[in-house]
């Protein structure tokens, strides 16, 4: 299927979306492997830090999770059928809440234990810690991980889906289709797709997530405010082929703009008077929003242009994404607990943790999740269909 056919037939399988989903979660995996070595708090920290890791982390923070929520919005668009909201919601419960519960009860305790152990907040073995995990239910500073630690994405995605489902269902209706068609016509004008940044910029200015003009908001609250627009934008981008065509056609401009703003952001964020001059603050926040949106447009544009081909490994990787995401961070932290104290350079530690974590997590998926239907359901996957015997295959009609 060529690119024009892809845009004209959005209900068919979109290999570009599948590939971007795999790419986005792969970036999360490498991001978490690097968190041992940046300057900010994390569960386990290396004795020395890396300016390169800090720089890469800062870049990912500007658009990484926004990309994942945007792709999640695209997935909602393709999965939701007119009049099918109840069935869709039931599917989301299985796909999001069941894995979240498993993560909270099984995968989060080792992460919290290692955090308390390495920060001097607990002494003892894991079995001695378990009662403390299940007894300390304080929402913010307790041991019980209500969001499953890194699985907060599943939690807030379900919440956003629940709240925004009436909007998504309306956009799938006949009247909603008229709105998306009008949006497609407007977005087809040169440069118009970049104007989508205006609501995002206004939101960033009002929220002040970096705590420049006012005390910084809790991270959980920032997530609840910042990411719903990305989910809606992902839905809208894939609701009309003209929007996608505009993104493809202006991908080079988006990439150049994202690259330029990325180079300039360290200078912008350290301008004198930024924390006292509202107009200067608003300008910098607007530039940060444009950086994020241009980065997303560039990734989408090049993905839609060059990642449309199918591959025999794509189906496997796309199915593995959710279980891999659920499992990976616990594996990374357990490995990091033993590797980080070793007298080795940062690069050697990173490569050791990342390579081993990838192999172990993939092995857990392949041999512990993928082949067993009850376990598949726990990890948000549909049951595997049993293979038909040869005699039954021979009896199937030929179309």
Check residue 11 and give its pLDDT.
55
pLDDT at 389 (0 to 100):
53
**pLDDT at position 396:** 46
List CB contacts of 392: < 8 A, sequence separation 6 or more: none
Q: Where exactly are the structural domains of the chain?
A: 1-26+178-310
Query: Which parts of the chain have pLDDT scores under 50?
Result: 1, 388, 390-399
pLDDT at 123: 95
- Amino acid 155: pLDDT: 96
Q: What is the 3-state secondary structure (H, E, C) of the chain?
A: CCHHHHHHCCCCCCHHHHHHHHHHHHHHHHHHHHHHHCCCCCCCCCCCCCHHHHHHHHHHHHHHHHHHHHHHHHHHHHHCCCCCHHHHHHHHHHHHHHHHHHHHHHHHHHHHHHHHHHCCCCCCCHHHHHHHHHHCCCCCCCCCCCCCHHHHHHHHHHHHHHHHHHHHHHHHCHHHHHHHHHHHHHHCCCCHHHHHHHHHHHHHHHHCCCCCCCCCCCHHHHHHHHCHHHHHHHHHHCCCHHHHHHHHHCHHHHHHHHHHHHHHHHHHCCCCCCCCCHHHHHHHHHHHHHHHHHHHHHHHHHHHHHCCCCCHHHHHHHHHHHHHHHHHHHHHHHHHHHHCCCCCCHHHHHHHHHHHHHHHHHHHHHHHHCCCHHHHHHCCCCCCCCCCCHHHHHHCCCC
pLDDT of residue 390: 47
Whole-model pTM: value is 0.92
Per-residue pLDDT tens for 147-172?
A: 999 999 999 999 999 999 999 999 99
């Amino acid at each position: 299927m060529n690119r024009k056919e892809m845009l004209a037939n959005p209900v068919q399988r979109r290999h570009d979306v599948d590939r971007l989903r795999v790419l986005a979660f792969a970036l999360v995996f490498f991001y978490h492997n690097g968190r041992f070595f940046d300057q900010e708090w994390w569960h386990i920290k290396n004795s020395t830090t890396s300016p390169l890791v800090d720089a890469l982390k800062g870049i990912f923070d500007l658009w990484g999770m926004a990309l994942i929520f945007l792709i999640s919005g695209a997935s909602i668009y393709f999965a939701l059928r007119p009049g099918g909201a109840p069935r869709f919601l039931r599917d989301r419960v299985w796909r999001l809440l069941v894995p979240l519960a498993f993560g909270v009860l099984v995968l989060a305790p080792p992460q919290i234990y290692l955090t308390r152990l390495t920060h001097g907040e607990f002494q003892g073995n894991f079995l001695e810690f378990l009662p403390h995990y299940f007894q300390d239910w304080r929402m913010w500073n307790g041991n019980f991980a209500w969001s499953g630690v890194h699985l907060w994405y599943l939690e807030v995605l379900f919440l956003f889906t629940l709240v925004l489902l009436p909007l998504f269902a309306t956009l799938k209706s006949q009247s909603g289709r008229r709105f998306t068609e009008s949006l497609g016509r407007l977005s087809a004008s040169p440069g118009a797709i970049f104007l989508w940044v205006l609501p995002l910029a206004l939101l960033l200015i009002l929220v002040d997530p970096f705590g420049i003009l006012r005390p910084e908001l809790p991270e959980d609250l920032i997530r609840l405010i910042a990411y719903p627009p990305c989910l809606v934008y992902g839905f809208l981008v894939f609701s009309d082929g003209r929007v996608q065509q505009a993104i493809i056609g202006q991908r080079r401009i988006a990439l150049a703009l994202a690259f330029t703003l990325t180079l300039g952001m360290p200078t912008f964020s350290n301008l004198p008077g930024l924390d006292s001059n509202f107009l200067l603050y608003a300008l910098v926040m607007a530039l940060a929003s444009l950086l994020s949106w241009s980065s997303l447009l560039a990734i989408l544009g090049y993905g839609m242009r060059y990642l449309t081909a199918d591959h025999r490994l794509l189906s496997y990787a796309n199915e593995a994404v959710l279980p891999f995401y659920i499992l990976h961070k616990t594996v990374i932290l357990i490995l990091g607990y033993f590797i980080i104290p070793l007298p080795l350079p940062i690069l050697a530690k990173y490569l050791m943790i990342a390579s081993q974590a990838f192999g172990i997590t993939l092995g857990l998926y392949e041999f512990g999740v993928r082949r067993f239907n009850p376990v598949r359901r726990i990890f948000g996957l549909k049951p595997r269909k049993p293979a038909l015997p040869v005699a039954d295959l021979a009896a199937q009609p030929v179309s």
